Amino acid sequence: MDAFLGPASGRLVVLRDAAVLRVVLGGAVDLVVRERDTPALWEALDDPQVRAVEVDAGAVTFLDSSGLSVLVRLARDAAERGLPLRLVALSPRVDYLLEQTGVGEWMAAIGR
């Protein structure tokens, strides 16, 4: 398990690599994660030096509607700013939910 995750917790971590905003999700991404961790994400996304967004959700073990809403808002906000958003890693759980809900297809469409 990643060092930033506890045994049953989830986390959203915002990292910067030059002009790329990297969002790393892991564990159980739910309402707690959304309320606790996303303020830093929205603040970082407002930085005019950000030119692209990458999402690493490869370590997500659980994603509920609150967690999915984070991805939806991130995709929408990035598109509104003209920032490309790339999903660099998806856990099987996230991949399944994006496919079943149509959110993955919607994200691809607005990212064009």
The model's pLDDT over 8-58, given as tens digits with 9 standing for 90+, comes to 589 999 999 999 999 999 999 999 999 999 999 999 999 999 999 999 999
The residue ranges of every structural domain in the chain are: 10-110
For domain 10-110, give its CATH number from 2.30.22.10, 1.10.3720.10, 3.30.750.24, 3.10.20.740: 3.30.750.24
Which whole number is the average pLDDT over 74-89?
A: 96
Phi/psi-derived region of residue 110, left when phi > 0, alpha when psi is between -120 and 50, beta in every other case: alpha
Measured CA to CA, the distance from residue 44 to residue 50 in angstroms comes to 8
Q: What is the pLDDT of residues 90-108, one digit of tens each?
A: 999 999 999 999 999 999 8
Is residue 1 over pLDDT 50? no
Which whole number is the average pLDDT over 49-68?
A: 96
Quote the pTM value. 0.89
